[in-house]
Amino acid sequence: NQVATYYGQGAYQQRLSTFCAETSLDIINVGFVDVFPDVGLTGWPETNFGNQCDGSFFVNGDETSGLLANCHQIMEDIPLCQDAGKKVFLSLGGSAPASGQYIASKDSADDFADWIWGAFGPVTPEWTADGLPRPFGDVVFDGFDLDIEWGTGFGYGYLAKRLRHNYDTYRDSNPESKNFYLSAAPQCYLLGNLLTEAISYAPFDYIWVQFYNNPSCSANLYADGLPGFNFDDWVSIITSGANPDAKLFVGLPAEESEAISGYYIDSESIESLVNKYMNKHPKTFGGVMLWEATGSYNNTDSKGNVFSQSVKNILVD
Ligand SMILES: CNC(=O)NC(=N)Nc1ccccc1
């Protein structure tokens, strides 16, 4: 079982290398591509990585885009995380801006996937020959995460499926290349969920459900002995989806302040929850996702363990 986290939006966050050195972290989602091309400046996606970039943007033709051009610390550090055996995904979406996650049509979903693949996937001569940007240079992400918090739900399945198509096409002609992964971070409510259709349509490898910030289905209900925590429903969604072997992670706040008040649960509650659901769904249970890395780093227990280490100890004991 694995621990996944998010990096890029932490308050006064340290550079990524700090978290590459954190042995309890297996997967790191770097966020965010927060504005999608249909609404992005110059028709390119836009990015935001908190305090990690120098504030300059790529120019597209004679227009300034919203794509950050100099995030050198992230570019330098992703290979450190990968060399340490971690998977590093680029996360699309995030909690702001609400208007950013709009996809106009299937064609624009496909174009968006191709753009992401060209800019952040394997380096290809065509992409750079066309003068298109590689925001992190030769860094090749291990996969892409859909952290969809807004919108109508339209297009995310097409986006995910096209990314998978691009992986498969690339690996057909580069059989020695590394694996690529797809993940998603749905909210835990079911009615009107923005990602359940995508999960039924496109083969994701990891689904980390945000069991926080939602009153009807979050993990604090389990911790308080109340009904509503809907991990079982999510197991059914996955096992009847496009990839029934996808792994389901319990998404939790890494620190009290990193979720709306009342949703943080402590490691004792996590231990009880993990023991129950890991044994109830041994094939689908994949681990714990923590929002987010800096909060975890600042949340140490009496033994001096950062929160992700406490969670890892629960998962492997
Ligand atoms: C996986 N994405 C998130 O966990 N986003 C998230 N936690 N956004 C947020 C919402 C309200 C308060 C703080 C963070």
The predicted-structure confidence for 275-297, as pLDDT tens digits, reads as follows 999 999 999 999 999 999 999 99
What pLDDT, on a 0 to 100 scale, did the predictor assign at position 133? Answer: 98
Q: What digits encode the pLDDT tens for the residues 111-155?
A: 999 999 999 999 999 999 999 999 999 999 999 999 999 988 999
Exposure pattern of 279-291 as b/e (b: 16+ CB <10 Å)? eebeebbbbbbbb
User: For residue 191, is pLDDT > 90?
Assistant: yes
| Number of residues assigned to the chain | 317
Cα angle for residues 240, 154, 215 (degrees, 5° grid): 70
Counting atoms of ligand 1 from 1, which one is nearest the CA of 260? Answer: 12
Q: Which of 13, 213, 296 gets mutated to test ligand 1 (max ligand atoms within 8 A of its CB)?
A: 213
- 36 contacts 112 by C-beta, under 8 angstroms: yes
- 195 contacts 238 by C-beta, under 8 angstroms: no
What pLDDT, on a 0 to 100 scale, did the predictor assign at position 11? Answer: 97
What pLDDT, on a 0 to 100 scale, did the predictor assign at position 167? Answer: 97
Query: What are the beta bridge partners of residue 82?
Result: none
Q: What digits encode the pLDDT tens for the residues 163-185?
A: 999 999 999 999 999 999 999 99
pTM over 0.95: yes
What pLDDT, on a 0 to 100 scale, did the predictor assign at position 87? Answer: 98
Q: Which two tokens stand for residue 159?
A: 């986006």
Q: Which of 291, 294, 296 gets mutated to test ligand 1 (max ligand atoms within 8 A of its CB)?
A: 291
d(CA 133, CA 135) in angstroms, rounded, equals 6
From 281, 188, 187, 291, select the one nearest 230 (Cα to Cα).
Answer: 188
Burial (CB < 10 A; 0-12, 13-18, 19+), residue 188, is: buried
User: For residue 217, is pLDDT > 90?
Assistant: yes
Percent pLDDT > 70 in the chain is 100
Q: What is the ipTM of this complex?
A: 0.95
Q: What digits encode the pLDDT tens for the residues 253-262?
A: 999 999 999 9
- 264 contacts 221 by C-beta, under 8 angstroms: no
Query: What's the distance, CA 222 to chain centroid?
Result: 24
Mean pLDDT estimate for the chain: 97
Find the DSSP H helices in 53-195: 72-83, 106-120, 125-129, 156-173
Indicate the SS3 state at residue 130.
coil
Q: What digits encode the pLDDT tens for the residues 51-108?
A: 999 999 999 999 999 999 999 999 999 999 999 999 999 999 999 898 999 999 999 9
Q: Which of 22, 46, 149, 258 is labelled catalytic?
A: 149
What pLDDT, on a 0 to 100 scale, did the predictor assign at position 257? Answer: 96
Q: How confident is the model at residue 317 (pLDDT cuts 50, 70, 90)?
A: confident
- Name residues whose C-beta falls within 8 Å of residue 172's C-beta, 6 or more positions apart in sequence: none
d(CA 309, CA 297) in angstroms, rounded, equals 9
What pLDDT, on a 0 to 100 scale, did the predictor assign at position 44? Answer: 98
Counting atoms of ligand 1 from 1, which one is nearest the CA of 29? Answer: 1
Indicate the SS3 state at residue 142.
coil
